Amino acid sequence: MDSQGKRTVIAIALCFAVLFGWMKLQEILNPPILQVTSEPDVPTESTVSDAGAPTSSPVSSSASLSAGAFTVTNADAAKPVVLGDARQNDKRSGYTNPYEFAVTIAPRGGAIEQIRLSRYRNHVPKDKRNPDPDPYDLVQPFTATADGEPLLSFASVKALLVDENQTVDLSRADWLVEKQADEKGETASLRTTISKEGKPILAIRKTYRVEKGSPHIASTIALENLSAVPRRVVLTERGPIGFKNEDPQRDSRRVVTTLASFDKDAKGAAKVDAKGQSILTVTDAPPHMRADIEKAGAEGVEIKPGEGNRVLWTALGNKYFGCIVTWLPTGSTSPVAEYLAKVVARFCVDDPTLTSDVNRVNDVTFEQAVGPVTPIAAGATVEMRREIYCGPKSDSVFSSMPPDIQRRQYQRVSNADRAGCTFQVITTLMLWLLTNLQKLVHNYGIAIIIMVFIVRLILHPVTKSGQISMMKMQKGMAALKPKLDALQEQYKNDKQKLNEETMKLYREQHINPASSMFGCLPMFLQMPIWVALWTSLNTNVDLRHQPFFWWIHDLSIPDGMFTPATPWNLHIPLIGALTGTINGFNLLPFIMTATMYAQQKFMQKLTKPAVPPPKKLDAEGRPIPDPMEQQQKMMGFMMLFFGLMFYNMPAGLNIYILCSNLMGMYEQYRIKTHLKVREERGDFDPAKLAAKGGPRKQSWFEKMQKRVEDIRQAQSPDDIRRVGKPKKSR
């Protein structure tokens, strides 16, 4: 094998090594989730009928719970209640659901057993005219602990009686539940009592309220001191649990926290606006993925706001939906609760063999410690309030909320989902364009195709200019080859002089060496657009379950031409690092790869010279491989890589790239026809270009190249500083 061939093989091997090394590094940083070895014994979940009433429940009554001399009152006859309604709007019957969700309140731990969204579905309906009832399960019970006890959302886990240094378990107690309804909504009231040596010392009352048209659950916790002495209490409340993973390639669930700090004046007092509200600076705490929380073990990951900051809200979500918990202050001038003491993100599996599959409901949650800042006086009651947002992570939904809610900046919950390889303005523009095109054609797939045409039309001048520049350079380089060979022979021992004379010759003949990069510019300009479109399809709930035609029922996930009832869950060694887990057969990636390969061959045909250049021979008389041929072979390998990388990408993104390839081939054909006309007219004749008068000015690329070469040739640090410092213009 000749030296050029060896270098090509080494380059390909290095590309493979870097790519797979990066994939392995990602696997180390984000380890795969353990698969289920045996189905855990999950109790029957409560289901909500069309009328909104529970049909069954895993909650059962138990005996009185005690912790030494402390006992918790148990309500033996307590039953779950349902607030709101999970039914979808029905145009045929004329039913319009005023509620955004249905909430099942469980007596066990004073918790929420299930939240089902009425505006969204778990699956794409098989029959659009008669879709089966399928409200989206936002949270639900999770069982993967050794004792088999189901974990419920927003349960009161424990109460710390500070003065006695005693922790009382509240999670296994059945609270007394009552339901009330009015014209605006429905409320569930729960209560339990902690006694010491048979004498009540603390009453705990919780309420959950769901109002028509509101995406929030309003919740209060009241602590009543029944003893004769002041009492300090810290209550630990669990957050939401049972969130599904909505990403077929990776786990998208994470705990997100937003922090707030008060703006202060010169005297250290908090600044207020015209309405008397404190002026805040809102920032994001680092998000915690499920893998990070799992590594922390039983201790969990504590959210530390840092000096001067307070927790504004904490959220758990996947890439489409979230639960945002905001504790409300007791005063009216501050939006930050002073009684929120601690937030800890937790991984709730104590037996790794019970860890559920990535696509099942799972085990991430957070706990919040809350308690009055000052002791509760004897006979007094202290109330703490919170609002729980339940719904999509949608900027349009957040922007339509009242001003006092918008002040919380809920849109920050999606910051961690957005890709860092593009600009947010491009993502916003792409989403705006897609949304408006969809309103026009009523199909997001067709809107994507129209958007390809628009993007290609906008980038056409850049593409055409790049092709013209490359044509000029090719013609000029062919004409200058004898002179370049002479310069290389004349200055073969003086590289600096060779570079200077070569650049001078380029300027005299009006040739820009950087023109070769202009041909790749349209592809580089499209990469941020691809990433922005992927972000829009991958994280925007408005595009979820949007169909195209034929077998493509959801543009936000792989096309899934054939997906068995039981997914394959194949992870191919090495290749699996590119494709992810293969659950079925996706056709679009193969078609997209075929069009990329066809476009490459089409480009090679268009750029192939009419007369093949003579083959070069080395000193031993062997033919030297053409670097262009080696580059084309490497591009063939890259086509295969793209096909593997895009196998589990959203169908909408594959449609975009497929249509872009087809339109690109037509565009290249039209440009080639135009260039042929100009070539016959002599527009690219080096002699005519040189006769236009005077040498060409140095390009920015040439200036930078000369400066780098001067620095390389410098002999001392003083020379380097002198050469590297740009001259001041007079």
Q: What average pLDDT score do residues 537-556 get?
A: 85
Decide if 450 is inside a domain.
yes
Q: Are residues 475 and 546 in the same domain?
A: yes
Cβ 160 vs Cβ 233: under 8 Å: yes
Q: Are residues 322 and 388 in the same domain?
A: yes
The Cα–Cα gap between 75 and 61 comes to: 7
Q: Model confidence at 323, in pLDDT bands (50, 70, 90)?
A: very high
Q: Are residues 463 and 356 in the same domain?
A: no
Q: What average pLDDT score do residues 585-595 get?
A: 89
Decide if 287 is inside a domain.
yes
The Cα–Cα gap between 196 and 202 comes to: 9
The most confident of 35-49, 219-233, 345-359, 516-530, by mean pLDDT:
219-233
Burial of 647 (0-12, 13-18, 19+ CB in 10 A): buried
Cβ 503 vs Cβ 457: under 8 Å: no
Judging by DSSP bridges, how do beta strands 364-370 and 340-347 pair with one another? antiparallel
Condensed to tens digits (0 to 9), the pLDDT of residues 128-138 reads: 777 888 999 99
Q: Are residues 264 and 362 in the same domain?
A: yes
- The token duo for 149 is 């006890």
Helix orientation angle between 700-713 and 495-508, rounded to the nearest 10 degrees = 170
Decide if 278 is inside a domain.
yes
Decide if 59 is inside a domain.
no
pLDDT value at 531 more than 80: no
Cα dihedral across residues 615, 616, 621, 627: positive or negative: negative
Least confident residue range of 292-301, 352-361, 372-381, 604-613? 352-361
Q: Are residues 383 and 459 in the same domain?
A: no
Least confident residue range of 301-310, 323-332, 661-670, 706-715? 706-715
Decide if 155 is inside a domain.
yes
Condensed to tens digits (0 to 9), the pLDDT of residues 618-628 reads: 556 666 666 65
Decide if 576 is inside a domain.
no
Q: Are residues 208 and 105 in the same domain?
A: yes
Q: Are residues 357 and 217 in the same domain?
A: yes
Q: Are residues 308 and 198 in the same domain?
A: yes
- The token duo for 68 is 């030494």
Q: Are residues 349 and 439 in the same domain?
A: no
Domain holding 321: CATH number?
A: 2.70.98.90
Give the domain extent around 439.
Answer: 419-557+659-701
Decide if 578 is inside a domain.
no
Q: How many structural domains does the chain have?
A: 2
Would you state the pLDDT for residue 455?
Answer: 85
The Cα–Cα gap between 487 and 481 comes to: 10
Place of tokens 């565009």: 667
Write the single-letter amino acid at 563. T
Q: Are residues 465 and 402 in the same domain?
A: no
Decide if 622 is inside a domain.
no
Q: Are residues 89 and 191 in the same domain?
A: yes
> What rounded mean pLDDT belongs to the chain?
77
Q: Are residues 377 and 452 in the same domain?
A: no
